[in-house]
Structure 1
Protein backbone atom coordinates (compact mmCIF):
# COMPACT_ATOMS: atom_id res chain seq x y z
CA UNK A 1 0.00 0.00 0.00
CA UNK A 2 1.63 3.19 -1.07
CA UNK A 3 -1.01 5.87 -0.58
CA UNK A 4 -2.58 5.21 2.79
CA UNK A 5 -5.11 7.94 3.21
CA UNK A 6 -5.53 9.29 -0.28
CA UNK A 7 -6.84 6.95 -2.94
CA UNK A 8 -4.49 4.49 -4.57
CA UNK A 9 -2.83 5.98 -7.67
CA UNK A 10 -4.63 3.54 -9.95
CA UNK A 11 -7.93 5.04 -8.78
CA UNK A 12 -6.65 8.58 -8.89
CA UNK A 13 -7.01 9.34 -12.61
CA UNK A 14 -7.13 13.09 -12.06
CA UNK A 15 -8.42 14.79 -15.14
CA UNK A 16 -7.21 18.38 -15.12
CA UNK A 17 -7.39 20.56 -18.17
CA UNK A 18 -4.35 19.34 -20.02
CA UNK A 19 -2.74 18.25 -16.75
CA UNK A 20 -1.25 14.78 -16.49
CA UNK A 21 0.30 13.44 -13.31
CA UNK A 22 3.94 12.46 -13.51
CA UNK A 23 5.06 8.87 -13.89
CA UNK A 24 6.46 9.04 -10.37
CA UNK A 25 2.99 9.67 -8.99
CA UNK A 26 1.49 6.80 -10.95
CA UNK A 27 4.31 4.48 -9.92
CA UNK A 28 3.41 4.60 -6.24
CA UNK A 29 1.78 1.19 -6.21
CA UNK A 30 5.07 -0.63 -6.80
CA UNK A 31 5.95 -0.48 -3.10
CA UNK A 32 2.47 -0.22 -1.78
CA UNK A 33 1.40 -3.72 -0.85
CA UNK A 34 1.82 -4.74 2.75
CA UNK A 35 2.93 -8.33 3.40
CA UNK A 36 0.00 -10.76 3.45
CA UNK A 37 0.54 -11.72 7.10
CA UNK A 38 -0.01 -8.13 8.15
CA UNK A 39 -3.54 -8.25 6.72
CA UNK A 40 -4.63 -10.77 9.35
CA UNK A 41 -7.17 -8.98 11.53
CA UNK A 42 -6.74 -8.66 15.27
CA UNK A 43 -9.39 -10.65 17.12
CA UNK A 44 -11.66 -8.13 18.79
CA UNK A 45 -12.02 -8.29 22.55
CA UNK A 46 -15.50 -9.16 23.82
CA UNK A 47 -15.69 -5.59 25.06
CA UNK A 48 -13.24 -3.00 23.83
CA UNK A 49 -11.56 -0.95 26.56
CA UNK A 50 -12.86 2.56 25.85
CA UNK A 51 -9.76 4.30 27.25
CA UNK A 52 -7.43 2.25 25.03
CA UNK A 53 -9.74 2.70 22.04
CA UNK A 54 -9.69 6.47 22.54
CA UNK A 55 -5.88 6.42 22.77
CA UNK A 56 -5.74 4.55 19.43
CA UNK A 57 -8.15 7.05 17.87
CA UNK A 58 -6.13 10.00 19.17
CA UNK A 59 -2.95 8.57 17.64
CA UNK A 60 -4.75 8.12 14.33
CA UNK A 61 -6.20 11.64 14.39
CA UNK A 62 -2.79 13.12 15.20
CA UNK A 63 -1.03 11.22 12.41
CA UNK A 64 -3.81 12.15 10.02
CA UNK A 65 -3.44 15.84 10.91
CA UNK A 66 0.31 15.76 10.19
CA UNK A 67 -0.33 13.90 6.92
CA UNK A 68 -2.96 16.40 5.77
CA UNK A 69 -0.75 19.37 6.70
CA UNK A 70 2.10 17.80 4.73
CA UNK A 71 -0.02 17.27 1.61
CA UNK A 72 -1.49 20.76 1.90
CA UNK A 73 2.02 22.18 1.91
CA UNK A 74 1.70 23.53 5.45
CA UNK A 75 4.57 21.35 6.73
CA UNK A 76 7.93 20.70 5.15
CA UNK A 77 9.25 17.14 4.94
CA UNK A 78 11.68 17.49 7.86
CA UNK A 79 9.00 18.78 10.22
CA UNK A 80 6.48 16.16 9.06
CA UNK A 81 9.13 13.46 9.48
CA UNK A 82 9.80 14.45 13.08
CA UNK A 83 6.11 14.73 13.94
CA UNK A 84 5.11 11.45 12.28
CA UNK A 85 7.75 9.55 14.25
CA UNK A 86 5.55 10.14 17.31
CA UNK A 87 2.51 8.48 15.71
CA UNK A 88 3.64 5.95 13.12
CA UNK A 89 6.31 3.44 12.27
CA UNK A 90 7.04 0.89 9.56
CA UNK A 91 4.77 0.77 6.53
CA UNK A 92 2.37 3.44 7.85
CA UNK A 93 5.19 5.91 8.48
CA UNK A 94 6.90 5.18 5.16
CA UNK A 95 3.65 5.54 3.21
CA UNK A 96 2.78 8.93 4.62
CA UNK A 97 6.25 10.36 4.02
CA UNK A 98 6.43 8.87 0.52
CA UNK A 99 3.14 10.56 -0.35
CA UNK A 100 4.59 13.89 0.75
CA UNK A 101 7.66 13.35 -1.40
CA UNK A 102 5.76 12.12 -4.45
CA UNK A 103 3.11 14.82 -4.45
CA UNK A 104 5.72 17.48 -3.65
CA UNK A 105 7.88 16.41 -6.59
CA UNK A 106 4.80 16.53 -8.86
CA UNK A 107 4.03 20.03 -7.51
CA UNK A 108 0.64 18.86 -6.27
CA UNK A 109 -0.85 20.22 -3.06
CA UNK A 110 -4.25 19.41 -1.63
CA UNK A 111 -6.93 21.89 -0.64
CA UNK A 112 -9.79 21.31 1.74
CA UNK A 113 -9.89 18.46 4.19
CA UNK A 114 -10.96 14.85 3.81
CA UNK A 115 -13.84 13.60 5.91
CA UNK A 116 -13.36 10.78 8.37
CA UNK A 117 -15.30 8.48 10.66
CA UNK A 118 -12.72 6.29 12.46
CA UNK A 119 -13.81 3.46 14.72
CA UNK A 120 -11.75 0.97 16.68
CA UNK A 121 -13.06 -2.40 15.53
CA UNK A 122 -10.59 -4.65 17.33
CA UNK A 123 -8.36 -4.41 20.38
CA UNK A 124 -6.16 -7.18 21.73
CA UNK A 125 -4.36 -6.10 24.90
CA UNK A 126 -3.15 -9.68 25.52
CA UNK A 127 -1.06 -9.91 22.34
CA UNK A 128 2.63 -9.02 22.42
CA UNK A 129 2.68 -6.15 21.61
CA UNK A 130 -0.92 -5.11 22.25
CA UNK A 131 -2.65 -4.52 18.90
CA UNK A 132 -5.64 -2.68 17.57
CA UNK A 133 -7.55 -2.44 14.31
CA UNK A 134 -9.27 0.78 13.29
CA UNK A 135 -11.54 1.32 10.29
CA UNK A 136 -12.13 4.75 8.80
CA UNK A 137 -14.29 6.13 6.04
CA UNK A 138 -11.95 8.41 4.07
CA UNK A 139 -14.02 10.95 2.12
CA UNK A 140 -12.39 13.03 -0.65
CA UNK A 141 -15.52 15.10 -1.38
CA UNK A 142 -13.89 18.23 0.07
CA UNK A 143 -10.24 17.23 -0.51
CA UNK A 144 -8.86 18.21 -3.92
CA UNK A 145 -5.43 18.04 -5.54
CA UNK A 146 -4.19 21.26 -7.13
CA UNK A 147 -1.35 21.52 -9.61
CA UNK A 148 -0.11 24.79 -11.09
CA UNK A 149 -3.13 26.61 -9.68
CA UNK A 150 -5.64 24.25 -11.30
CA UNK A 151 -7.83 21.81 -9.41
CA UNK A 152 -7.40 18.30 -10.76
CA UNK A 153 -10.72 16.51 -11.12
CA UNK A 154 -11.28 12.88 -10.26
CA UNK A 155 -12.59 10.53 -12.89
CA UNK A 156 -16.42 10.49 -13.00
CA UNK A 157 -16.54 6.85 -11.88
CA UNK A 158 -14.28 7.37 -8.85
CA UNK A 159 -16.15 7.17 -5.55
CA UNK A 160 -14.82 9.79 -3.15
CA UNK A 161 -15.53 7.58 -0.11
CA UNK A 162 -13.35 4.57 0.66
CA UNK A 163 -12.72 2.31 3.61
CA UNK A 164 -9.28 2.65 5.21
CA UNK A 165 -8.05 -0.15 7.49
CA UNK A 166 -5.46 0.77 10.08
CA UNK A 167 -3.42 -1.45 12.36
CA UNK A 168 -1.84 0.01 15.48
CA UNK A 169 0.44 -1.44 18.14
CA UNK A 170 1.30 -0.30 21.61
CA UNK A 171 5.04 0.34 21.80
CA UNK A 172 6.75 1.66 24.92
CA UNK A 173 3.34 2.45 26.42
CA UNK A 174 2.13 4.52 23.44
CA UNK A 175 0.02 3.56 20.42
CA UNK A 176 1.60 3.90 16.98
CA UNK A 177 0.20 3.19 13.54
CA UNK A 178 2.03 0.35 11.80
CA UNK A 179 -0.10 -0.33 8.71
CA UNK A 180 -2.54 1.63 6.56
CA UNK A 181 -4.51 -0.21 3.86
CA UNK A 182 -7.20 1.45 1.73
CA UNK A 183 -9.84 -0.84 0.27
CA UNK A 184 -10.26 0.64 -3.19
CA UNK A 185 -13.26 -1.44 -4.14
CA UNK A 186 -15.18 -0.84 -0.92
CA UNK A 187 -17.06 2.40 -0.27
CA UNK A 188 -18.59 3.65 2.93
Structure 2
Protein backbone atom coordinates (compact mmCIF):
# COMPACT_ATOMS: atom_id res chain seq x y z
CA UNK A 1 0.00 0.00 0.00
CA UNK A 2 1.21 3.45 -0.78
CA UNK A 3 1.66 5.48 2.37
CA UNK A 4 1.49 9.20 2.02
CA UNK A 5 4.84 10.82 2.35
CA UNK A 6 4.68 13.84 4.50
CA UNK A 7 6.94 16.78 3.99
CA UNK A 8 7.67 18.31 7.33
CA UNK A 9 8.46 21.96 7.45
CA UNK A 10 10.78 22.54 10.31
CA UNK A 11 11.08 25.87 12.01
CA UNK A 12 14.12 26.74 14.01
CA UNK A 13 14.65 29.30 16.67
CA UNK A 14 17.86 30.40 18.26
CA UNK A 15 18.27 29.24 21.80
CA UNK A 16 17.99 32.02 24.33
CA UNK A 17 21.01 32.09 26.60
CA UNK A 18 22.05 34.42 29.34
CA UNK A 19 19.93 37.16 30.88
CA UNK A 20 16.83 38.37 29.09
CA UNK A 21 17.28 41.12 26.51
CA UNK A 22 16.87 44.55 28.03
CA UNK A 23 14.32 45.43 25.35
CA UNK A 24 12.14 42.47 26.29
CA UNK A 25 9.55 43.18 28.97
CA UNK A 26 10.25 41.30 32.17
CA UNK A 27 7.86 38.53 33.13
CA UNK A 28 7.17 37.76 29.43
CA UNK A 29 8.51 34.62 27.76
CA UNK A 30 10.80 35.17 24.78
CA UNK A 31 9.03 35.05 21.45
CA UNK A 32 8.91 31.55 19.98
CA UNK A 33 8.71 30.62 16.32
CA UNK A 34 5.54 28.97 15.09
CA UNK A 35 5.44 25.22 15.70
CA UNK A 36 6.39 22.94 12.80
CA UNK A 37 3.56 22.20 10.40
CA UNK A 38 2.97 19.15 8.26
CA UNK A 39 1.96 19.55 4.64
CA UNK A 40 1.86 17.49 1.48
CA UNK A 41 4.02 18.52 -1.41
CA UNK A 42 2.27 18.91 -4.75
CA UNK A 43 3.81 15.63 -5.92
CA UNK A 44 2.88 13.70 -2.79
CA UNK A 45 -0.68 15.01 -2.93
CA UNK A 46 -0.99 14.00 -6.60
CA UNK A 47 0.32 10.51 -5.84
CA UNK A 48 -2.07 10.11 -2.92
CA UNK A 49 -5.01 11.34 -5.02
CA UNK A 50 -4.10 8.95 -7.86
CA UNK A 51 -3.96 5.94 -5.53
CA UNK A 52 -7.24 7.02 -3.93
CA UNK A 53 -8.85 7.17 -7.40
CA UNK A 54 -7.42 3.74 -8.27
CA UNK A 55 -8.79 2.20 -5.06
CA UNK A 56 -12.12 4.02 -5.55
CA UNK A 57 -12.48 2.64 -9.07
CA UNK A 58 -12.11 -0.93 -7.82
CA UNK A 59 -14.40 -0.28 -4.85
CA UNK A 60 -17.16 0.96 -7.17
CA UNK A 61 -16.57 -1.98 -9.54
CA UNK A 62 -16.85 -4.45 -6.65
CA UNK A 63 -20.15 -2.87 -5.56
CA UNK A 64 -21.56 -2.95 -9.10
CA UNK A 65 -20.36 -6.53 -9.56
CA UNK A 66 -22.64 -7.86 -6.84
CA UNK A 67 -25.54 -7.40 -9.29
CA UNK A 68 -23.53 -7.00 -12.51
CA UNK A 69 -24.88 -3.46 -12.84
CA UNK A 70 -23.04 -2.23 -15.95
CA UNK A 71 -25.02 1.03 -15.80
CA UNK A 72 -24.07 1.98 -12.24
CA UNK A 73 -23.51 5.75 -12.12
CA UNK A 74 -20.80 5.17 -9.53
CA UNK A 75 -18.52 3.60 -12.13
CA UNK A 76 -17.73 7.06 -13.52
CA UNK A 77 -16.66 8.57 -10.20
CA UNK A 78 -13.07 7.31 -10.47
CA UNK A 79 -12.89 5.93 -14.02
CA UNK A 80 -13.05 7.53 -17.45
CA UNK A 81 -12.25 6.70 -21.05
CA UNK A 82 -11.03 3.19 -21.79
CA UNK A 83 -11.08 2.24 -18.10
CA UNK A 84 -14.76 3.12 -17.74
CA UNK A 85 -15.62 1.35 -20.99
CA UNK A 86 -13.81 -1.81 -19.89
CA UNK A 87 -15.51 -1.83 -16.48
CA UNK A 88 -18.96 -1.39 -18.05
CA UNK A 89 -18.35 -4.00 -20.74
CA UNK A 90 -17.10 -6.52 -18.20
CA UNK A 91 -20.18 -6.02 -16.06
CA UNK A 92 -22.45 -6.21 -19.09
CA UNK A 93 -20.87 -9.52 -20.12
CA UNK A 94 -21.41 -10.87 -16.60
CA UNK A 95 -25.03 -9.69 -16.64
CA UNK A 96 -25.61 -11.26 -20.07
CA UNK A 97 -24.06 -14.54 -18.87
CA UNK A 98 -26.02 -14.57 -15.60
CA UNK A 99 -23.01 -14.00 -13.35
CA UNK A 100 -22.44 -11.90 -10.26
CA UNK A 101 -19.25 -11.30 -8.31
CA UNK A 102 -18.90 -11.89 -4.59
CA UNK A 103 -16.16 -10.89 -2.21
CA UNK A 104 -13.46 -8.27 -2.63
CA UNK A 105 -10.00 -8.15 -4.13
CA UNK A 106 -6.97 -7.34 -2.03
CA UNK A 107 -5.12 -4.39 -3.54
CA UNK A 108 -1.52 -3.30 -2.97
CA UNK A 109 -1.08 -0.28 -5.24
CA UNK A 110 2.04 1.83 -5.50
CA UNK A 111 3.05 4.69 -7.74
CA UNK A 112 5.65 3.66 -10.31
CA UNK A 113 5.92 6.99 -12.14
CA UNK A 114 4.56 10.52 -12.17
CA UNK A 115 4.70 12.97 -15.10
CA UNK A 116 5.74 15.72 -15.12
CA UNK A 117 7.90 15.10 -12.08
CA UNK A 118 7.34 18.45 -10.36
CA UNK A 119 3.56 18.79 -10.95
CA UNK A 120 2.12 15.43 -12.01
CA UNK A 121 -0.86 15.21 -14.35
CA UNK A 122 -0.38 11.51 -15.21
CA UNK A 123 0.53 8.83 -12.71
CA UNK A 124 1.17 5.16 -13.33
CA UNK A 125 -0.07 2.90 -10.54
CA UNK A 126 1.24 -0.64 -10.32
CA UNK A 127 -0.52 -3.25 -8.24
CA UNK A 128 -0.38 -6.91 -7.42
CA UNK A 129 -4.09 -7.51 -6.93
CA UNK A 130 -5.28 -10.69 -5.27
CA UNK A 131 -8.63 -12.04 -6.46
CA UNK A 132 -8.56 -15.18 -4.29
CA UNK A 133 -11.64 -13.99 -2.38
CA UNK A 134 -13.31 -12.19 -5.29
CA UNK A 135 -15.01 -14.69 -7.58
CA UNK A 136 -17.87 -15.00 -10.06
CA UNK A 137 -20.98 -17.01 -9.25
CA UNK A 138 -24.07 -17.97 -11.21
CA UNK A 139 -26.85 -15.53 -10.31
CA UNK A 140 -29.59 -18.18 -10.67
CA UNK A 141 -28.21 -20.85 -8.32
CA UNK A 142 -25.24 -19.30 -6.49
CA UNK A 143 -22.79 -21.90 -7.79
CA UNK A 144 -19.17 -20.92 -8.29
CA UNK A 145 -18.65 -20.14 -11.98
CA UNK A 146 -15.02 -19.09 -11.77
CA UNK A 147 -11.72 -20.79 -11.31
CA UNK A 148 -10.05 -19.85 -8.06
CA UNK A 149 -8.54 -16.39 -8.18
CA UNK A 150 -5.00 -15.41 -7.40
CA UNK A 151 -2.43 -12.68 -7.71
CA UNK A 152 -2.30 -10.61 -10.90
CA UNK A 153 -0.18 -7.70 -12.04
CA UNK A 154 -2.30 -4.59 -12.69
CA UNK A 155 -0.99 -1.42 -14.34
CA UNK A 156 -3.18 1.67 -14.41
CA UNK A 157 -2.92 5.16 -15.86
CA UNK A 158 -4.46 7.75 -13.55
CA UNK A 159 -4.83 11.27 -14.91
CA UNK A 160 -5.73 14.63 -13.45
CA UNK A 161 -8.98 15.85 -14.98
CA UNK A 162 -9.89 19.42 -16.01
CA UNK A 163 -11.93 19.80 -12.80
CA UNK A 164 -8.89 18.84 -10.66
CA UNK A 165 -10.12 15.33 -9.84
CA UNK A 166 -8.09 12.20 -10.56
CA UNK A 167 -9.51 9.31 -12.59
CA UNK A 168 -8.22 6.04 -13.95
CA UNK A 169 -8.20 6.41 -17.73
CA UNK A 170 -6.86 2.96 -18.62
CA UNK A 171 -5.71 -0.20 -16.92
CA UNK A 172 -4.48 -3.66 -17.76
CA UNK A 173 -5.01 -6.78 -15.66
CA UNK A 174 -2.50 -9.52 -16.43
CA UNK A 175 -2.85 -13.31 -16.09
CA UNK A 176 -2.91 -15.17 -12.79
CA UNK A 177 0.53 -15.58 -11.24
CA UNK A 178 2.07 -12.53 -12.89
CA UNK A 179 3.17 -11.07 -9.57
TM range (shorter): 0.5 to 0.7
SS at match of 1:183: strand
SS at match of 2:128: strand
2:76 alignment counterpart: 85
Higher helix share goes to which structure?
Answer: 1
1:166 alignment counterpart: 156
Deviations along 1:80-131, one digit per CA (max 9) or x if unpaired, are 2x22222111110100011111101111111111111011111113699821
Aligned-pair Cα RMSD in Å: 2.5
The alpha-carbon distance between structure 1 residues 48 and 154, as it changes in their structure 2 partners (threshold 3 A), is farther
* 1:11-160 map, 5 Å: 49-73=43-67, 76-78=69-71, 80=72, 82-125=73-116, 130-147=121-138, 148-154=141-147, 160=150
Gaps of 5+ in 2: 1-40
Contact (CA 8 Å) 1:168, 1:177: kept in 2 or not? yes
> What is the CA–CA distance in structure 2 between the aligned matches of 1:115 and 1:57, rounded to whole Å?
14
1:183 alignment counterpart: 174
SS at match of 1:109: strand
1:61 CA drift (Å): 1.2
1:169 CA drift (Å): 1.1
Question: What TM-score, normalized to structure 1?
Answer: 0.65
Q: How many residues align?
A: 136
> What is the CA–CA distance in structure 2 between the aligned matches of 1:77 and 1:153, rounded to whole Å?
19
Question: What TM-score, normalized to structure 2?
Answer: 0.68
Which stretches of structure 1, 4 residues or longer, exceed 3 Å deviation after superposition?
75-78, 125-129
